[in-house]
A and B are shown apart, each in its own frame.
Chain A
Amino acid sequence: MTAIGEIEYTDVRELRGPLVVIGGVAGVGWDEFVRIDCDVGESGERRHGLVLEVNRDLAVVQVLEDTSGMDPERVRVSFAGAPLRVPVGPGWLGRVCNGRGEPVDGGPPVFGPTSAAVGGSPINPVRREPPGDPVLTGVGVVDALTTLVRGQKLPVFSAAGLPHLELATQIAAQSTVRGEPFSVVFAGMGLTHADATFIRDALEERSAAGELVLLLNTADDPVIERILAPRLALTVAEYLAYEEGRHALVVMTDMTAYAEALREVSAARGEVPARRAYPGYLYSDLASLYERCGRIRGRPGSVTVLPVLTMPANDITHPVPDLTGYITEGQIVLWHEAHAQGVYPPVDALSSLSRLMRKGAGPGRTRADHLDVAAQLLAALARARQVRELADLVGRSALSATDTRYLDLADRFLHHFMAQRMDEARPLDEALERAWQVLLTLPRSQLAMLPTELIDAHHSPEAKEQDG
C-alpha cells in the first residue's frame, strides 16, 4: 500500500466513534492515507485511516479498523502525503481478502505491477463509449427480460428473507461475455459468517480458475472497511478492464449495509443529517461508486456494476433504493409473491427494467427475435396481472376463454420460464425458447407484437390444436 512519511505525531486530542483528532500537524493534506501505531493492552498494533478534514494544525482522521482499545496516550500517527492507493493487477484474481484487501485465504499479500488510488477519478464523459453488448448471466429471466449490458449499472432490489445473495452469487459464478476475457470482482459487505461461508463455497470454482476476486467484509468487521470494500473492488476492476482489456463485472452486496456504515461515520462526525438520518451526500457518495462503470473509447474492456440492496421494510422509497434508482440504469426487483410460491429466482418482471437493454440485446447482439419476444412477454404479463385482479373480483369462471389463457400464461411464466436451479447456467437460447413456449399459451391473435413468420416457426402442433 501507500508509502508512509517519517514524522510521527502523538498529540491525540480526541477519540470519537471511528474518528481520531490529532493536533500539532503540519503540511498534512485532505484525503491523505494515515498509519496509526497504537499499543492495545500489552501488544502493539498497526491501524490505518484517512484524513477527513484538516483545520489549522488539527487533522481529523477516520480509522479503518475502528478505534476500540485505543488509548490517546499510546498512539503514534504518520501521514502518507498521498491518498490511499492499492496495488492493482492480475495478482488479485483467485484471491480472497477482507474489505481492506488483506488476504484471508492464507496466501501472501497481494502485489501488483502498479498501484491506483481507491477513490478513482471520474471518467471524462466525452471519452465514454455508450454501453453495448450483453453480459450473459445464465439466469434466464435476467438475460431474456432485463439484459445486463457491458458498462451498465443495474441493481438488484430485494428485501429481507429473499434470495438475493443466492442470485448475486449465481450471477457472479456463471456470467460470461461470449469468449472474451472476463473477470468478476465480488464485494460482500456486512455479511453474516454463514453468508460469507456460503459465498466462498459457491464461488470457489471460479476463484480457483483465476477469474474471480472475492472481498468479504463481515458484520463484525470494522464499519469503515465496509466503506472501503466497494472502492477497492472497483479500483481492482478498473485496472483489469481498462489496462488489461477484460470485461469486469463488479457485484456489490449489500449496499444497504454500506449506506448504514456511511450513516454511522457521518453521525460520529456530527454532520447534519438528511432523510432518515442518512447524510445529505448519500446520492453523490453512491454515485461515486456506481458511476465507475462504463466503457472508454479505444479501450477494449468494460466495467459493469451489479449492486444488490435490501429495501428496509420492503419500502422502495427508502433512501438507499430510491437514490440507487436515481443513479442506476434500471433495476431488477425481487418479489415476495413468487418466492412464496417456491419459485427461484423470484423476479418481479413487471417492475424490473434494464434501461439499456436495446443496446445489449437484439439482432447482432443476442438474437434477432429477442427484443420482440421480451416486449410481447411483458405486455402479456401485464395483461395477465389485470386479468387476475378481475378474476379476484368476479371469479375465474366468469372470465372469457382468452382471459383464462392469460392466467395460464402467468402460471407457465413462473414455473416454466422463470424457475431455474441455483446451479443451472441457462443458455440464452434456451431461455428465449422457453419464453416462446410460454407465449404460445395464448392464441395467435394475442401476439400482435411478434412477426407472423416467427410465430409460424415456433407454433407447435399442440398449440395449433388449441387454437383451432
Chain B
Amino acid sequence: MGTVSGTDSARECRVLRVAGPLVELEYVGGTAMYDLVSLGEAGLPGEVVAVSGNVVTVQAYEHTGGLAPGHRARPLGRPLSVRLGPELLGGIYDGLLRPLSDSGDWLLPGAHEGHGAAHSWWFIPRAVGQQQVTEGTVVGEIRAAGPVPVRVLVPPGCHGRVSRLAAEGRYPGDAVLAVVDGTEIKMGTSWPIRRPRPARERVTADAPLSTGQRAIDLLFPVARGSTVAVPGGFGTGKTMLLQQIAKWCDADVIVYVGCGERGNEMADVITELSALEDPRTGGRLADRTVTIANTSNMPMMAREASVHTGATVAEYFRDMGLDVVVIADSTSRWAEALREFASRTGELPAEEGYPAGLASAIAAFYERAAAVTTLGGAQGSVTVIGAVSPPGGDMTEPVTAHTERFVRCLWALDRDLAYARHYPAISWSGSFSRDATVLADPAQAERRGHVAALLAEADRLADLVDLVGITALPDQERVSVLAGRLMREGVLQQSALSARDAYCAQEKTAALVDAVLAVVEECRGLVDSGIPAATLEEVDFAPVIRVREETGPHEAAAVAERRDAVLARLRELR
C-alpha cells in the first residue's frame, strides 16, 4: 500500500475524538466509505468506516497514543489497498501487507515503509506486440525465487492492443512491462482489500485438495475452492493442524494469516517453512508461502484487515490459474476486533456484545473462497481454512455457530481426544464434509463408509463398556470395540512431530485402512468359528498400529506386509 504520508491528498481535516483505535474526524467532503486516511503528523493509516452528519468515523491501524483532537488528518481519496507482486512469495507481512522484515526489533507506529519497487525480477514476455488482448490475458511470466510461476496479467477492465511490450530481461518491481490501450502494466499491481477480485465465473469445486492428513483426506476431505472451519478449545491442536496443512497440502500457494495469535508461533512457522523442502517441487516451502503476521499484541484493527488482505493476496495468485489456500488462525480473534470496534462506536450490540453484522462479516470472508474460471480462461481456486477459538469450548457461541453455517467442511477438534494425546484431535462424530460426496471415487467412498460405521459402532459400545465392563459384551461386539481401537490408533492418529508420518499419501492411507479392515474381518471370522474374543484381545496388533510411524509416506506395500504378518498370526489361532 506504500506509505500513507504521501502527497496524493485531498483536503485536510481535524481530529475530533480519539479512543484507542476509534478516531473521529470532521467531514470535509470528498471522503468516501472505506477510504484511506492519514492521521496526525506520523501519518498513521486509518480507514473510513462510517460517515454520519459531519462526523467521519475512522478505524486506525496503528497505536494512536498521542493523537489529539485538533491534530490534522488527510483523506487520501482511495480505498485501503495492497500492493501485489512477485516479492510476496517467501515474505512476511503485517495485516496491511507491509513487510515486517523492513522493521526493527520493535514495531513502532508510523515507522513502516512501502515495498516492492526495490526488488528486480526476470521477465519473459508471453504476449506479442500488437496482439489483441482482453482482461486476464497473460502478458508475461516472472521468474520468482521459488517454483511458483508468477504471471503478469492484463488487469480487470482493460482490453485492446498491446502497444508496447518489454523484451525478456531483468526489471525493477515498478517498471512498465507492457502498455495495453493506454494502460500501463507493471510487474505488481494494487488492489483494494475489501473488494473481491473478479473472475469470469465460479465453477463447481470438485477437485480434491490433498492435505496429507489421514483423518481429513479419508473422512472429511476438502475440495479446492471450498471452505473449512476448525473449531477447538485451547490446546486442542488447531495451530498444529493448520501448520501441517500449510506444509504438506498440494496447493500451489499458501497464504498463512496469523491473526491475533502468538509471536513465538509466527517465529516458528517462518523458521520451519524456510528449512523444509516442498515434497513436490524440491524448492523451499517458504517460497510458495506468503505469511501475514498480526500477533495478538499488534494493533487490533490491523487484525481485522488482515483476513481481507490474505484473501486479496490469494485471489491475485488464483487469477494466474493457481490453486491457493488461505489459512486464518484464528478467525475468532478477527471477530473480536470487530466487536471491540463496534463497542467503541457505541453500536447496539447483538449476541455477546458482537455487532449485529457479525454473521454477514463472517459470510463475506468465507465467500471469497471459490473455484473459478479466471478472466483469462484458466482454472484457479482459493480454499479458505479458518480456525475458530470458542470461549470456554462452547460451540454455541456466536462466532462458532455462525461460521458452521457458512462452511462446507468442519473439522471439530475434541478436547477429550487432545487430552488423551490423540492427535490430530479431529472428532469423527462432530465433524462434517459436504465435499465428500463430489470428491470420492467409489472405492474411496466405500472405504469412508466402512470406517465411519466402524467408528460409530465402537463409540456406541464404549458408552456401554463404561457402564457394564467389556466382559459383559457379546464376542462380536468385543471385536467391534477392538476394531475401533485399531482404527483410531493405526489410522487416525498422526503426529505432526513424527519424522515419517507427519505427511501421508493417499495410497498409504488406503493401505492402512484396508489393513485394519482385513484384520477386523479375520477376527470376526475367528469369533464365528468359536475363538473367544478375550483371546483376540491379547493378540499383539502392534505391527499394524505402528506401521504408520515406521514407514515413509508412500510405502503402501510395507503396510500390506505388516497386515499379512498379523493375519498369519491370527490364522494360527484356528
Residues of chain A whose beta carbon lies under 8 Å from any beta carbon of chain B: 26-32, 52-57, 81-83, 119, 121-131, 151-152, 242, 271-275, 280-281, 283-284, 287-288, 291-294, 296-297, 299, 317-319, 322-323, 325-327, 329-331, 350-351, 353, 355-356, 358, 382, 393-394
Contacts and interface: CB of A to CB of B under 8 A. Distances in A.
Interface stretch (B11-19, B81-89, B197-205, B364-372): B11-19
Given A29-B66, A126-B103, 8 more contacts: A29-B68, A31-B65, A54-B68, A122-B297, A128-B266, A129-B267, A280-B343, A325-B234
B264 A283 contact: no
A330 B107 CA distance: 26
Contact of A291 (B20, B68, B296): B296
Interface of A is mostly: loop
Contacts of A355: 235
Contacts of A318: 392
B457 interface: no
Most A Cβ at <10 Å: residue of B101, B264, B336: B264
Contacts of B184: none
B105 interface: yes
Interface in B286-318: 293, 295-298, 300
A319 B392 contact: yes
B113 interface: no
B400 interface: no
B68 A283 contact: no
B349 interface: yes
Given A27-B68, A122-B295, A284 B392 contact: no
Contact of A296 (B67, B105, B235, B262): B105
A12 to B, nearest CB: 18
B392 to A, nearest CB: 3
Contact of A126 (B69, B70, B101, B353): B101
A274 B297 contact: no
Contact of A30 (B68, B100, B349, B497): B68
A30 B65 contact: yes
B107 A121 contact: yes
A130 B271 contact: yes
Closest 7 A-B residue pairs measured CB to CB?
A317-B392, A287-B296, A325-B234, A128-B267, A291-B297, A29-B66, A31-B65
A317 to B, nearest CB: 3
A82 B66 contact: yes
Contacts of B543: none
Nearest to B342: A272
A122 B107 contact: yes
Interface string B389-401: 1011110000000
B104 A287 contact: no
Contacts of A81: 66
Contact of B296 (A124, A242, A273, A283): A283
B469 interface: yes
Contacts of B260: 283-284, 287
B264 A31 contact: no
B204 to A, nearest CB: 37
B262 A329 contact: yes
Nearest to B303: A284
B391 A319 contact: yes
B340 A327 contact: no
B267 A280 contact: no
A344 B392 CA distance: 29
B531 interface: no
Contacts of A131: 264
Contact of A130 (B65, B69, B264): B264
A53 B100 contact: no
Interface string B79-110: 00000000000001000000011011111100
B348 to A, nearest CB: 9
Nearest to A356: B264
Contact of B100 (A125, A283, A350, A358): A125
B552 interface: no
Contact of B64 (A31, A330, A351): A31
Size range of the interface on B?
Answer: 35 or more
Nearest to A326: B234
Interface of B: 16-20, 24, 63-71, 92, 100-101, 103-108, 233-235, 258, 260, 262-264, 266-268, 270-271, 293, 295-298, 300, 333, 336, 339-340, 343, 349, 352-353, 389, 391-394, 419-421, 469, 497
Given A124-B105, A126-B100, A394 B469 contact: yes
A27 B267 CA distance: 39
Contacts of A292: 297
Contacts of A330: 235
Contacts of A319: 391-392
B97 to A, nearest CB: 14
A317 B469 CA distance: 31
Contacts of B420: 382
A322 B106 contact: no
B68 A281 contact: no
Contacts of B497: 358
24 contacts: A27-B70, A28-B69, A29-B68, A30-B67, A30-B68, A31-B63, A53-B17, A54-B17, A81-B66, A122-B106, A122-B297, A123-B107, A123-B263, A125-B263, A125-B295, A128-B264, A272-B353, A274-B353, A280-B340, A284-B296, A319-B392, A322-B393, A326-B234, A330-B235
Nearest to A286: B296
B270 A283 contact: no
Contacts of B263: 122-123, 125, 128, 291, 294
Contacts of A29: 18, 65-68, 71
A322 B391 contact: yes
Given A124-B103, A323-B391, A284 B300 contact: yes
B257 to A, nearest CB: 13
B109 to A, nearest CB: 9
B100 A124 contact: yes
A319 B353 CA distance: 15
B264 A126 contact: no
A275 B353 CA distance: 9
Most B Cβ at <10 Å: residue of A54, A126, A293, A331: A126
A122 B65 CA distance: 14
A283 B70 contact: no
Given A130-B271, A280-B336, A55 B17 contact: yes
Contacts of B389: 326
Nearest to B65: A31
Contact of A56 (B69, B264, B298, B353): B69
A152 B339 CA distance: 29
B264 A151 contact: yes
A242 B333 CA distance: 29
B297 A283 contact: no
B534 to A, nearest CB: 13
Contact of B352 (A56, A275, A299): A275
A275 B392 contact: yes
B66 A83 contact: yes
Contacts of B268: 130
A325 B235 contact: yes
A53 B64 CA distance: 11
A350 B296 CA distance: 28
B392 A322 contact: yes
B339 A274 contact: yes
A283 B296 CA distance: 8
B1 to A, nearest CB: 18
Nearest to B99: A126
A131 B266 CA distance: 12
Given A122-B298, A317-B392, A127 B70 contact: no
A54 B106 contact: no
Contacts of A56: 16-17, 69
Contacts of A82: 66
Contact of B235 (A31, A353, A394): A353
Contacts of B266: 125, 128
Contact of B297 (A242, A287, A325): A287
A327 B65 contact: no
Contact of B106 (A123, A129, A274): A123
